[in-house]
Amino acid sequence: MSVRIPNRTSLPAVALSLAMAGSLAACGATAPDGSDAPSTPVSTASVPSAPASSSSVPLIVNAVQDPDNTLIAHVTVSAPTATGVVLTVTSAETAPREILAQDAAASHEFTVVGLRADTEYTFEASIPDAPAGDAATTSMTTGALPGNAPRAEVVRTAGDAGENPTAGITFFGLTAPGSYEDPTDMPDGPIFWGVDPQGAVVWYLNSDKTTNRAPLIRTAGDGTLLAFFKDTIDQVTLDGEVLKTYDMSAVPGWHHDAYLLPDGGLLALGAETRKFDGQDVHGDLVVELDAEGQVVSTWALLDHLDPDRFPGELSNALASAGGLDWSHSNSVLFDEDNGEVVVSVRSQGWVIAYDRATGDLSWIAGDDSMTAPGFDAPFLELEEGTWTSGQHAATFTEDGELFIFDNRNETGGAENNSRAVAYEIDRDALTARQVFEAVDPKYSEALGDVDQLADGTILSTAGGAGSDETARITEVLESGEVRWDLAVADTRIYRSERMPWSEVDEAA
């Protein structure tokens, strides 16, 4: 299976660079391979060389730490004449990285992100083909990490990290134990973090905004990120610049997820409470906003699913906003190929799809037991495998397979651990067949995520409590072999995202 990242809108690229444990992408950076050294030498053929009339072009280089982020350096290089420049970044812990400024100019500015904390870096500026003695150097030592930095450790790898074509920064939101139940008990300091393939923290986002109880950060597909806060979604560059803010105030009870549409609008999960037989029932809404943030349509799950179905403990629990937690949806996306909106309905153990144009149910992936006699819905018949329970993060592979993180709350997860699972769907015949399963290293009673990376590898996040309070993010090959296993102690992680170095480079 190969990956299809759910449709991302094309957003403005920002020139930046990612160095050392990260990637270098400013003015034309080299593409790292996931190890501490570039996989191939960097070509400088396209960079203007020193003027033929001069054997020496003196350079001046200066590096300063970003005033708001200890892992970012701002480097300026000045030359007496317009020329291209190569900036080489080194430290005792990491192999040299080269950043190319390809356009001829008398002054070049580099923003180097992804540096490790408490590390001395040397920045050497040179001109291709100029005498070696013409290089100018300066140094800078990065500062300490914020006090709430995650304690991440790579506990297992397979093969050479340098051969991993999907290596990059793994991003996630930090949730303190207990904060999922108490949204006011969030950690002090940055919420969103990123680690390199060796587990070193190389990125964090400064913001004074508060988040929901399950912080979410996503890649936007162009080297930028979408950071989800309590009332807004910010599109940010890797050096923290806010490019755009999406106001979510028009969505009643906005929670868990939102999805950027091709036309610049959004699909978002909202919520409502209704009374059935004297009992408050908490149901979800799918609200579509246009590019200006105005409501286009609202699709209420209580209008289209069975409001009398309470299949297990999850649906009979009390929602944080009050009422029985009948649906507890946690992901939404638009399947552009089929014109369908797809929603993960955790408490029902269902993933549902409806036609965006008509609002009609297209299919339901899940067990049809305990439904009311009059509830006539297009359930998929499962021909092979088992359905999910308490699932999260429904998405699709490039081949159209339904891909889900299955917590398995009510189907033996506590004994058998959670899993990533994929189903082949026949929409015409309304049938499904399980085609893949990868069991996680722990049971995650809540939270969770799955993505397929560009080489077909699975990135799975078992981030909730359950077996223990250590969140696990694993890369699993299609063969089932674990290629990378990250343990983040004493925290909970809703979802994780991987940005490969190549994508960071393309943003420059």
Higher pLDDT, 483 or 41: 483
Q: What is the mean pLDDT of residues 270-279?
A: 95
Burial class (CB in 10 A: 0-12, 13-18, 19+), 176: middle
Higher pLDDT, 454 or 141: 141
Task: Decide if 346 contacts 330 (C-beta within 8 A).
Answer: yes
Which pair of structure tokens corresponds to residue 252? 């009643």
Task: Decide if 472 contacts 153 (C-beta within 8 A).
Answer: no
How crowded is the C-beta side of 83, counted as CA atoms within 13 Å?
A: 25
Total of domains in the chain:
1
Higher pLDDT, 347 or 132: 347
136 within a domain of the structure (yes/no): yes
Higher pLDDT, 156 or 354: 354
pLDDT of res. 194: 94
Q: Return the ∠ at Cα 326 (arms to 321 and 328), rounded to 5°.
A: 65
> 440-456: per-residue pLDDT in tens?
999 999 999 999 998 89
pLDDT of res. 337: 95
Write out 400-421 in H/E/C secondary structure: CCEEEEECCCCCCHHHHCCEEE
Tell me which residue range forms the domain holding 130. Answer: 17-141
How crowded is the C-beta side of 139, counted as CA atoms within 13 Å?
A: 9
23 within a domain of the structure (yes/no): yes
Task: Decide if 364 contacts 380 (C-beta within 8 A).
Answer: yes
287 within a domain of the structure (yes/no): no
C-alpha distances (whole Å) from 141 to each of 115, 120, 190 are 10, 4, 21
310 within a domain of the structure (yes/no): no
Binning pLDDT at 50, 70 and 90, where does residue 497 land? very high
> 186-220: per-residue pLDDT in tens?
567 899 999 988 899 999 999 989 888 789 999 98
Q: What is the mean pLDDT of residues 123-152?
A: 89
- Residues near 473 by beta carbon (within 8 Å), at least 6 away in sequence: 170, 172, 459, 460, 461, 462, 463, 485, 486, 488, 493, 496
> 254-272: per-residue pLDDT in tens?
999 999 999 999 999 999 9
301 within a domain of the structure (yes/no): no
Q: What is the DSSP letter of 465?
A: S
CATH number at 104 reads 2.60.40.10
DSSP 3-state assignment of 348?
A: helix
> 416-436: per-residue pLDDT in tens?
999 999 999 999 999 999 999
Sheet-wide strand order for 216-219: 216-219, 225-228, 232-236, 242-247
Task: Indicate the average pLDDT of the chain.
Answer: 85
pLDDT of res. 159: 65
DSSP 3-state assignment of 74?
A: strand
- Please report the beta strands in 240-397, taking only residues with DSSP state E, as ranges in sequence order: 242-247, 258-260, 266-276, 279-289, 295-300, 329-335, 340-345, 350-355, 361-365, 381-384, 392-396
pLDDT of res. 99: 80
Higher pLDDT, 117 or 508: 117
39 within a domain of the structure (yes/no): yes
The pTM (predicted TM-score) of the whole model is 0.85
pLDDT of res. 243: 94
Query: What percent of the chain clears pLDDT 70, i.e. is strictly above it?
Result: 84
pLDDT of res. 11: 30
pLDDT of res. 349: 98
112 within a domain of the structure (yes/no): yes
Query: What percent of the chain clears pLDDT 90, i.e. is strictly above it?
Result: 66
46 within a domain of the structure (yes/no): yes
Task: Decide if 350 contacts 311 (C-beta within 8 A).
Answer: no
